[in-house]
Structure 1
Amino acid sequence: MRRRSFSALAVSSAVYLALGALGAALSPAEAARGEADTLAIGGSVTEIVYALGQEHRLVARDTTSTYPPEATALPDVGYMRALSPEGVLSVGPDLIVSEEGAGPPETLAVLEEAAIPFVTVPGAFTAEGVAAKIRAVGDALDAPEAAEALAAQVAGEIEAASARAAAHADAPKRVLFILSAQGGRLMGAGDDTGAAAIIELAGGVNALEGVTGYKPLSDEAAAAAAPDVILMMDRTGDHGASAEELFALPALAVTPAAEARALIKIDGLKLLGFGPRTGAAVSELSTALYGD
């Protein structure tokens, strides 16, 4: 089993002893729950655990782990980038399997001091990257054969969906992914993002060129991107927006997407998780773009 290594950070003995006592107090509960010993951090990791038929191993999950729906019945230890030692240790995990980016470092240092095995699965926005993620989770859970079968299946689905989408290479649509439209302020996706990767896999062109990562968009930058289609995660609240609200914004009102009222919304974890449903996400987006 691979373990993540961390730089040694000073942790007060009082805090550590308190947390150690908390973990010890949970031992009877751990024994009672049978095989449930694993904390999954990251929506794609939790989804892979279920796809491997290893959900009986899960003792808890993080806030981003919302699929399949039954995962939400597990205790929630908080957002993966803002974990607290108390929250993690309160569920008494014997193993933590996490996407890249969990933190903060202070919490990871406490978990290292507590000698809890912490496996970080690799992340890459490709078919092989998803397969590697699946294999890493399978290795951590001692289910390598099931993981190899699932990895081959999912990678094949992604490659097949992308090959079908490539039929539109002669006239690809320009797609602008909007991460957030809170308060009328747009956050877009540039290169080296999951959004850019899924757009390319689905036969589109990322409209936000020359930008890396997720960045705020000025009205001028959004208009210059000239997207044919706006892509968003399907969610409610301040970060979401209806077509009417979105295309009324000055930043987008002058774009081809606004003229065509072209807005696509797809479940966020499915779209950007790069897990077992990525092939389905590529197919769904390609179909929405081109009507295949």
Structure 2
Amino acid sequence: MPREPMPTWPARRTWLQGAAALPLLSALGAAAAAPARIVALGGALTEVVYLLGAETMLVGTDTTSLYPDAALKTPKVGYMRQLSAEGLLSLKPDAVVGTTEAGPPVVLDQVRSAGVRVELVKADHTWDEVRRKVSAVGQVTGRERAAQALQAQLDAQWASVQQAVAGTARRPRALFILSHGGSPMVAGTGTAADALIRFAGATNAITQFAGYRPLTAEAMASAAPEVLLNSTQGIEALGGEAAFWQRPELALTPAFRRKALVVMEASHLLGFGPRLPAAVRELHTRTQAITA
């Protein structure tokens, strides 16, 4: 099964869309435990570290941790699915926090055997995944109170956006195309894209299979999506929107007639971090508008 798109982070203007009103939370962690050396595996977890004001503990991140800008300057341990024990241990961390997508497992076992605390959050493309990430970072950094305050505000944002989505009767058929490299693929069930489509009040046009499969003319015709979704990185990889629409298989879709395409930065769309409420709200608003 192909991997989900590797998150790459947007420009500062998108930082904490929908969460810009969050108060400074680091003061709430005054009673935290003594600072630790932490490696974060996954952009969403790194983002939480910064939100909790614990960035001074951060001694390394994986290559998907590119936001906020300060995260670009952190030592990188490689892609979170292709780690090495040597790379992790060279940073002398006290704790490594990641998701169950991190690995290989044997590498994480080696890190544990070296006496390093390894905390892995279950990745299942739900709101609870976001909550688990906030809680895990709060515990590892000793900023539990700050994490609870952050989570309360994020929960309020999530409830608000879900209420807005529930109030919309129309459920357009949407299809996500993964085209970061190699041949384009379409997202079936069990993917982050499938979850985002459903959260945003649309219907995934692909329900016949789980994971990702190649984009074919037959798949496009049978799926009949009203709107197509892609990431900014995916569109760039295909040569831009004009080149995207020149793909012959897309001409078989209802979306082609309207050139109905929603493009969002990959990590904002699929990162399942603190900006998830903002991503769902934006996707809902844009899919509804473009298919009206």
**Could you tell me which residue of structure 1 aligns to residue 87 of structure 2?**
87
Distance change >3 Å, CA 239–CA 99, structure 1 → 2: farther
Task: Decide which structure has the larger Cα Rg and report it.
Answer: 1
**Could you tell me which residue of structure 2 aligns to residue 228 of structure 1?**
226
Distance change >3 Å, CA 274–CA 236, structure 1 → 2: closer
**Could you tell me which residue of structure 2 aligns to residue 69 of structure 1?**
69
Task: Supply the distance in 1 between the matched residues of 2:276 and 2:209 (Cα, whole angstroms).
Answer: 24
Q: Offset of 1:224 from its aligned partner?
A: 1.1
| SS class of match (2:101) | coil
Cα distance per residue 1:85-137 (max 9 Å; x no partner): 22112211111011221111332232122111101123332333322221122
User: Is the 8 Å Cα contact of residues 123 and 133 (structure 1) preserved in structure 2?
Assistant: no
> 1:63-142 counterparts in 2 under 5 A?
63-142=63-142
| SS class of match (1:96) | strand
Q: Offset of 1:245 from its aligned partner?
A: 1.8
Distance change >3 Å, CA 222–CA 194, structure 1 → 2: same
> 1:234-245 counterparts in 2 under 5 A?
234-235=232-233, 239-245=237-243
Structure 2 segments unaligned to the other structure (5+ residues): 1-33
**Could you tell me which residue of structure 2 aligns to residue 179 of structure 1?**
178
**Could you tell me which residue of structure 2 aligns to residue 27 of structure 1?**
none
Distance change >3 Å, CA 190–CA 130, structure 1 → 2: same
> 1:146-161 counterparts in 2 under 5 A?
146-161=146-161
Distance change >3 Å, CA 240–CA 71, structure 1 → 2: farther
Aligned AA (1:195) = A
Aligned AA (2:43) = G
Distance change >3 Å, CA 212–CA 166, structure 1 → 2: same
Q: CA RMSD in A?
A: 2.0
User: Is the 8 Å Cα contact of residues 234 and 265 (structure 1) preserved in structure 2?
Assistant: yes
Task: Supply the distance in 2 between the matched residues of 1:218 and 1:182 (Cα, whole angstroms).
Answer: 16
Q: Offset of 1:215 from its aligned partner?
A: 2.2
Sequence identity (%)? 42
Structure 1 segments unaligned to the other structure (5+ residues): 1-33
TM-score, normalised relative to structure 1? 0.82
Distance change >3 Å, CA 110–CA 57, structure 1 → 2: same
Distance change >3 Å, CA 64–CA 207, structure 1 → 2: same
Task: Supply the distance in 1 between the matched residues of 2:166 and 2:101 (Cα, whole angstroms).
Answer: 32
User: Is the 8 Å Cα contact of residues 122 and 129 (structure 1) preserved in structure 2?
Assistant: yes
**Could you tell me which residue of structure 2 aligns to residue 7 of structure 1?**
none
Q: Offset of 1:273 from its aligned partner?
A: 1.2
Higher relative contact order (CA 8 A, sep 6+): 2
| SS class of match (1:168) | coil
Task: Supply the distance in 2 between the matched residues of 1:181 and 1:146 (Cα, whole angstroms).
Answer: 36
Higher alpha-carbon deviation: 57-66 or 138-147 = 138-147
Aligned AA (2:78) = G
